[in-house]
């Protein structure tokens, strides 16, 4: 079976071809890079409008030159797309592209929740049965665990997403977007600087830390030290709630999802915590952590295989699509 995936919830215009026989995932992506400031929804949508046709076209060219066996001549069985969550103007372009492609190829359409896809790519690549997932992405930060047919949100940010919080701090410094990799690089030369640590039960907050980090730089604390303190504080919070989620669910498998997962220090802290409690930890390779259509195609294939497709009239996008709204049809009901 071969599935085309299309992703464009915020900054990555991306298309992919996933072949279930070989488990090969080919991804074509074109990132939106703001000239200044952060992600501007209108500019991001303009980027999607020009880049989505190009990445989809490149993936269809790839499909045409590799063997496939479906009736459409390209060997494509279904088209999966990100229905949300994300920026409405971007999602609408992705939805339109996916509907048009599915109808042109006369194949079913699969509507994928982007955050569940961040989890499922980790589950798929690790071979874990029923992991807890820490999604540490730009616009989100939450822990997901499976129970009774849904991925439940065990804990989440009470304000901004983790990557967005870091990016707001770096915008204050005048650094270009995205800020996460720059903070990671500068933190290596810094000494830990104390910042507020905010965990309440299974939830956590970043806004106070960001204000304190901005104030520290403005007060003359070396930026490397603030970057080091920022990483240690935020990632310790995420590690604490991940450990509590493992403990509460009795699960001994943790997967990481989302673009902030590209940070080596976060992966190191999570791996160390899992090792200490005898749990297994898996972080997908970077191309599957940041926004990408590969994860959409892989989850799309699992959904298509059990008939979880969507009719065009019902395929409206949802900028606020929460992971626990998704009925998990593809796992079978023997897993808990
Ligand atoms: P979502 O999946 O919630 O829609 P998103 O669309 O913003 O998130 P992602 O690709 O998951 O996109 O994550 C992008 C975020 O990852 C940005 O905020 C960026 O600063 C952050 N990021 C990228 N690399 C690193 C890194 N090495 N360290 C920390 N953060 C990073």
Residues 184, 211 share a domain: yes
Residues 180, 168 share a domain: yes
**Which residues constitute the domain of residue 71?**
2-117+288-325
pLDDT band at 333 (very low <50, low <70, confident <90, very high): low
Alpha carbon of 138 to ligand 1 centroid (Å): 4
Alpha carbon of 257 to ligand 1 centroid (Å): 10
Residues 112, 261 share a domain: no
Q: What is the CA radius of gyration of the chain?
A: 20
Q: Is the peptide bond before 85 cis (omega within 30 degrees of 0)?
A: yes
Residues 282, 303 share a domain: no
Q: Mean pLDDT over all residues of the chain?
A: 96
Residues 65, 11 share a domain: yes
Q: Which protein residues touch ligand 1 with a CB less than 6 Å away?
A: 9-11, 86, 114, 137-140, 161, 163-164, 166-167, 178-181, 184, 258-260, 262-263, 290-291
In a domain, 336, yes or no: no
CATH classification at residue 270 = 3.30.420.40
Mean pLDDT for 294-322 is 98
12: left (phi over 0), alpha (psi -120 to 50) or beta: beta
In a domain, 73, yes or no: yes
Residues 152, 267 share a domain: yes
Closest among 119, 73, 80, 118 to 99, alpha carbons compared = 80
Q: What is the pLDDT of residue 117?
A: 98
17-72 pLDDT, tens per residue? 999 999 999 999 999 988 888 889 999 999 999 999 999 999 999 999 988 877 67
Q: Which atom of ligand 1 is nearest to the CA of 140?
A: 3
Alpha carbon of 258 to ligand 1 centroid (Å): 6
Residues 252, 206 share a domain: yes
* Residue whose CB lies within 8 A of the most ligand 1 atoms, among 32, 40, 138, for a mutation test: 138
* Residue whose CB lies within 8 A of the most ligand 1 atoms, among 259, 270, 288, 317, for a mutation test: 259
In a domain, 335, yes or no: no
Mean pLDDT for 127-153 is 97
CB atoms within 10 A of CB 3: 28
């Amino acid at each position: 079976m071969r599935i085309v995936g299309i992703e464009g919830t915020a900054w990555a215009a991306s298309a992919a071809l996933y072949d279930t026989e070989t488990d090969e995932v080919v991804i074509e992506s074109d990132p939106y890079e703001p000239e200044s400031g952060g992600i501007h929804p209108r500019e991001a949508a303009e980027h999607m409008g020009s880049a989505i046709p190009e990445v989809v076209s490149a993936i269809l060219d790839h499909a045409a030159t590799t063997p496939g066996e479906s009736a459409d001549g390209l060997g494509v069985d279904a088209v999966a797309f990100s229905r949300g969550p994300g920026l409405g103007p971007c999602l609408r372009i992705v939805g339109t592209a996916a509907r048009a492609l599915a109808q042109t190829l006369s194949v079913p359409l699969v509507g994928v929740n982007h955050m569940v896809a961040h989890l499922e790519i980790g589950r798929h690549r690790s071979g874990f049965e029923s992991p807890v997932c820490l999604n540490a992405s730009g616009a989100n930060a939450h822990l997901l665990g499976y129970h009774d047919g849904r991925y439940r949100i065990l804990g989440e940010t009470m304000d901004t997403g983790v990557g967005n919080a870091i990016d707001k701090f770096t915008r204050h410094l005048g650094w270009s977007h995205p800020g996460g990799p720059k903070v990671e690089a500068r933190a290596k030369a810094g000494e830990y600087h104390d910042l507020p640590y905010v965990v309440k039960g299974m939830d956590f907050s970043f806004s106070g830390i960001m204000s304190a980090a901005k104030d520290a730089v403005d007060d003359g604390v070396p930026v490397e030290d603030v970057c080091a303190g920022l990483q240690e504080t935020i990632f310790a919070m995420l590690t604490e709630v991940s450990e509590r989620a493992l403990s509460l669910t009795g699960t001994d498998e943790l997967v990481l999802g989302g673009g902030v997962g590209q940070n080596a220090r976060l992966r190191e802290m999570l791996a160390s915590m899992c090792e200490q409690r005898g749990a297994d930890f898996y972080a997908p390779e970077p191309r599957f952590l940041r926004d990408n259509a590969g994860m959409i195609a892989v989850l799309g294939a699992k959904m298509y295989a059990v008939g979880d497709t969507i009719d065009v009239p019902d395929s409206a996008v949802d900028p606020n699509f929460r992971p626990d709204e998704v009925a998990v049809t593809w796992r079978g009901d023997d897993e808990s």
